[in-house]
Structure 1
Amino acid sequence: MVTDIQRIVISGYYGFGNSGDEAVLQSILTSLQEESEQAGIKLEPVVLSADPEWTSRIYGVESVHRMKLQDVISAIRGSEGLISGGGSLLQDVTGWKTIPYYLGIIRLAQGFGKPVFIYSQGIGPVNRPIFHPWIRRIYSRCRYLSVRDQESASLLEHMGLDRAKIEVVPDPVMSFARMNADRAAGSGEPVIGVSVRFWDPDHTDLKGIAEALRQIVSATDARLRFLPFHQPEDIQASQAVIDFLGDGLKGRATLVQGAETPLEMVRQTADCDLLIGMRLHSLIYAASQLVPMVGISYDPKIDHFLRRLGMEPASRTDRPEPGRIAAAALHLLDNSEQWKHQKKEIIENFRTQSRLPAQQIIDYLRNKRVGNR
C-alpha cells in the first residue's frame, strides 16, 4: 500500500534532444518508480530540464527550467533530496562551465540540508586541476556516490575521495528491457545501425567510416540505418556520411527521423543485426538489446564501456582505420550468435546491477520514513 508522497529533484543533461541522456533519464525514472512501488512510497520526481514543457509531456513528470534559479531553488527546497546523474556531467572537454553548473546544483541542495545521490555518473576527462578540490569537497558530502566505470572511480580517488565509498555500477540505460524487433534479425539483407557525430573538423573520421561502410555493403548487400542520437547535429553528420558513400550506395541507406523518445530509438536499434557507433549510448542501447556492436572511439568513455564487455574499439577518430572497422563488422555478422552467447550473461548482470542506485535511494527514503514515525 502506498502511503507517502516524496518529491525528489533530478539534475542532468536533459531537454537538449540528446537521445542518450534522455535514455538515462527514462531509465532512472523507471527504476525509481518500480523500486518505490515495492517499498510503498509514492515518488514525485521533479526534473531540471532545458525544455521543461517537452520533458513533462514525454515523461509525465513535473519539470522546471534548469537555468531559472528561483524555480530550481523552490524545487530543491520542497524535495526530499537531489539525484545528480547519470551521463558525463563532470567533464570539461565540452567547456569549462559544465562542471561548475552541476557542482553548483549539488552545493545548492547541500546548503538546504538535502541528501544528494550521485547516480552512475561518468567522471572526466577533467583537464583543469582547479576543479579537483571542488569536486572532492562537494562529492565527499554526498549521501550516495556511484559511477559507471572503474576509470571514473579511479579519477575520483585520485582527487582525494575515499574509494571505499564509491560504488561502480553499469550505465542506467542497461536497465532497459529487451524489445521484440519489428523485423527478425538475421532474416533477409542484414541491417546495420550507424551512429555518427561530428568530431574531427576536417571530417576525416566520417570519411573513414563511409569507406568502411562501402566495404561492408559490397561484401554483404547490407542496408544501413543511420540513427541520430543528438538532433539536429547527428542528422547532419549522418547525412554527411551518406553523401560520402557516393551515388551508387546512397540507396542502401536510410536516416531515421522523428524518433522523439528514447524507447523509439531503442526499438530502432533492437531491429538491427549489428550497430557501428561513435555515440556511447548507441553502444549501450545495442548492448541492452543484445545487438552485436563495433565501437569507434572519440573519447575514453567509449573505451571504458567496451572494456567492461571485454571488447576494444575497432578504430579511433584521430586515426581512422576503415579496413579494421569493416573486418570487425563482417566478423560479427558472420558470428552473431556466438557473440550473443558470449556476452549475454555479462549484459544480464549489467541489467541487474544498473538498478542498484535506485534501490539505494528508495532504501534511504523508506528508512527515513520509518525513522520519522
Structure 2
Amino acid sequence: MGTQVQGRTYRLVISGYYGFRNSGDEAVLKSILNALSEAQEEAGIQIAPVVLSCDPSWTKEMYGVEAAHRMRPADVLGAIRSSDGLISGGGSLLQDATSAKTIPYYTGIIKLAQMLGKLTFIYSQGIGPVNRGWMNPLIRSVMKKSSYISVRDEASAGLLADIGVDRNRIEVVPDPVMGLPLVAGAQTGGSGARTAEPAGERLPVVGVSLRYWRKDYADLTRAASALAMLARQQPVRLRFLPFHTPDDAMASEFVMERLGAIGGSTAELATPGEDPQQMLLEVSRCDVLFGMRLHALIYAANQQVPMLGLSYDPKIDSFLKRLGLQPIGSTDALDEQAFADAAGELLAPGGAAAWRDKHRDAILKLKAEAQVPAKQIADFLRQYK
C-alpha cells in the first residue's frame, strides 16, 4: 500500500447511467457523491469527482461537480487520463437484458482506465442477467484488475464468482440510495403531502410507481384493477410517481385511465422534478408505496414507508428478501383482492407502525452498510502510494 498521504486531492471519474433524468440512477449518483464527501473527511483526503454524463451541463448544475460527455471518446479519454482513478458506480450497469451494447460500453470504460494505469473501483453494482456468454470474459477481465469490488446483492456476487472472479474479493452491500438523505428541513411522515386538506378529510396516500414492461400491457391492466379495488374498498389518494420520464408518466396515465369509478378516492400524477431528493421527499409523504421500480422500493425503505413490490426482475425479489418481504405479485400475475387486502392492512390503524417495528432493524442495517463502499475507497486512496 505504501505511506499514508493526508490531505491530498484525488480526481475520481464516476461512470454510470447519468444525465438521463432517470430518478433512480440520479439518486445513485447523488448518494455516491454524498457518501464520498463524508468518507473523504473521515480519511483526511480530498476527492474531486468527475461524472461521465449524457448531459454534462445539467449534471454540473444539478450536483456542482465537474462532468464530461459519456459518449464523446475524446472527452472520456481526457477525463480519465487526468484522473487518479475511476468508479464504475451503482445501478444495473453490467447486464444485457436492455441492450447488447451495455456491457461492452461499461466494461470498455473500466478497461480504458486500467490501460491508462488508473485505479478502478466497482461501487455497489447489480450484475446480470448476462445472456450472452461471450460477454463473461469482458466482465471477468475488468473485475480481476479492479482494486475494490462491491455488489448490491448475493445473486450478483454469485454470478461474478461463476464467471471466475474470486468470491473473497467481492463485498455485498446495499444499493447506494439506501443512504440518500432527505433535503434538510423537509416535512415528512405523510402529513406534508396533505396539508391542503381539511383535518378529518385527509385521505391516506398510496404512492404508485409503475413502468412499461410487457408489450401487451397486461401487467399495467392488472395493476389498474388492483388499485381500483383498493380505492373502492376504502377512500385513498392514489399518487402516481414517475421515476423515469416521460415513459413512467405515460405508463401512469395508462393505468389512471383504466381505474374506472373509484368512489371517494382520487388519483393524480405527481411532478416532483429532476432532483432525486425531491422524489425521495414525495415517497416519504406516502402512507404506503406500491412499486415496480427498484428505486421506488429503495426510497420507501429509506424512509420506512410500508411497501408492496411488483416484481418484473429478480433484483426486485432480491431487495425485498433483504427486508424480509416478498412481492405482492409480478408482471405475470397479480391477485387484485390479495393486493387490496394487503394494502388495507397496512393502511389500517396501527398497520404502518407494526410494519416499521417488524422491518426497522433490517432497514437501519442497510442504511449503515450503504456507506461502506465510499469508506473503503477513501481508505484505499488514503493509504495508496
TM bin, normalised by shorter chain, reads over 0.9
Structure 2 match to 1:107: 111
Q: Give 1:204's match in structure 2, choosing from 218, 233, 243.
A: 218
**Deviations, residues 218-246 of structure 1 (Å, cap 9, x unaligned):** 12201011000001100100011100112
User: Given the superposition, is the C-alpha separation of residues 254 and 152 from structure 1 closer, same or farther in structure 2, using an over 3 Å criterion?
Assistant: same
- Quick check: 1:4 aligned with 2:18? no
Shift in Å, 1:258 = 4.3
Moved more, 236-245 or 333-342: 333-342
Determine if contact 1:204/1:320 at 8 Å carries over to the other structure.
no
Tell me the amino acid that sits aligned with residue 299 of structure 1.
D
Determine if contact 1:7/1:44 at 8 Å carries over to the other structure.
yes
| Number of aligned residues | 368
Structure 2 match to 1:88: 92
**Deviations, residues 225-278 of structure 1 (Å, cap 9, x unaligned):** 100000110010001110011265697111111421000000000000000000
Structure 1 match to 2:360: 344
Secondary structure, counterpart of 1:118 in structure 2: strand
After the TM superposition, which residues 44-123 of structure 1 pair with which residues of structure 2 at under 5 Å, given as runs?
44-123=48-127
- Quick check: 1:190 aligned with 2:197? no
Tell me the amino acid that sits aligned with residue 42 of structure 1.
Q
Name structure 1 gaps, 5 residues minimum: none
**Deviations, residues 159-212 of structure 1 (Å, cap 9, x unaligned):** 111111100000000002366417438983210000000111111111111111
Shift in Å, 1:331 = 2.0
Q: Give 1:136's match in structure 2, choosing from 140, 143, 153.
A: 140
User: Given the superposition, is the C-alpha separation of residues 70 and 250 from structure 1 closer, same or farther in structure 2, using an over 3 Å criterion?
Assistant: farther
Shift in Å, 1:347 = 0.7
TM-score of the superposition, structure 1-length normalised? Answer: 0.95
Structure 2 match to 1:242: 256
Determine if contact 2:27/2:276 at 8 Å carries over to the other structure.
yes
* Counterpart Cα distance in 2 of 1:39 and 1:153: 27
Tell me the amino acid that sits aligned with residue 280 of structure 1.
L
Secondary structure, counterpart of 1:89 in structure 2: coil
Determine if contact 1:242/1:250 at 8 Å carries over to the other structure.
no
Moved more, 316-325 or 6-15: 316-325
Structure 2 match to 1:257: 271
Shift in Å, 1:129 = 1.0
* Counterpart Cα distance in 2 of 1:162 and 1:180: 45
- Quick check: 1:181 aligned with 2:188? yes
- Quick check: 1:267 aligned with 2:311? no
**Relative contact order, CA 8 A, sep 6+: which one is greater?**
2
- Percentage of matched positions with identical amino acids: 52
Determine if contact 1:214/1:249 at 8 Å carries over to the other structure.
no
* Counterpart Cα distance in 1 of 2:98 and 2:166: 27
Secondary structure, counterpart of 2:191 in structure 1: coil
**Deviations, residues 9-67 of structure 1 (Å, cap 9, x unaligned):** 00000011110000000000000011112322221100001111111110000111100
TM-score of the superposition, structure 2-length normalised? Answer: 0.92
After the TM superposition, which residues 324-335 of structure 1 pair with which residues of structure 2 at under 5 Å, given as runs?
324-334=338-348, 335=351
Determine if contact 1:315/1:324 at 8 Å carries over to the other structure.
no
- Quick check: 1:14 aligned with 2:18? yes
Secondary structure, counterpart of 1:113 in structure 2: coil
Secondary structure, counterpart of 1:117 in structure 2: strand
Determine if contact 1:243/1:250 at 8 Å carries over to the other structure.
no
* Counterpart Cα distance in 1 of 2:181 and 2:272: 22
- Quick check: 1:280 aligned with 2:294? yes
Determine if contact 2:179/2:371 at 8 Å carries over to the other structure.
yes
Q: Give 2:243's match in structure 1, choosing from 187, 211, 229.
A: 229
Q: Give 1:217's match in structure 2, choosing from 228, 231, 244.
A: 231
Shift in Å, 1:76 = 0.6
Name structure 2 gaps, 5 residues minimum: 1-5, 195-199
Determine if contact 2:232/2:262 at 8 Å carries over to the other structure.
no
Structure 1 match to 2:131: 127
* Counterpart Cα distance in 2 of 1:126 and 1:323: 36
Structure 2 match to 1:353: 369
Structure 2 match to 1:26: 30
Secondary structure, counterpart of 1:7 in structure 2: strand
Query: Superposition RMSD on alpha carbons, in Å?
Result: 1.7
User: Given the superposition, is the C-alpha separation of residues 136 and 226 from structure 1 closer, same or farther in structure 2, using an over 3 Å criterion?
Assistant: same
Determine if contact 2:231/2:265 at 8 Å carries over to the other structure.
no
Secondary structure, counterpart of 1:154 in structure 2: helix
Moved more, 217-226 or 184-193: 184-193
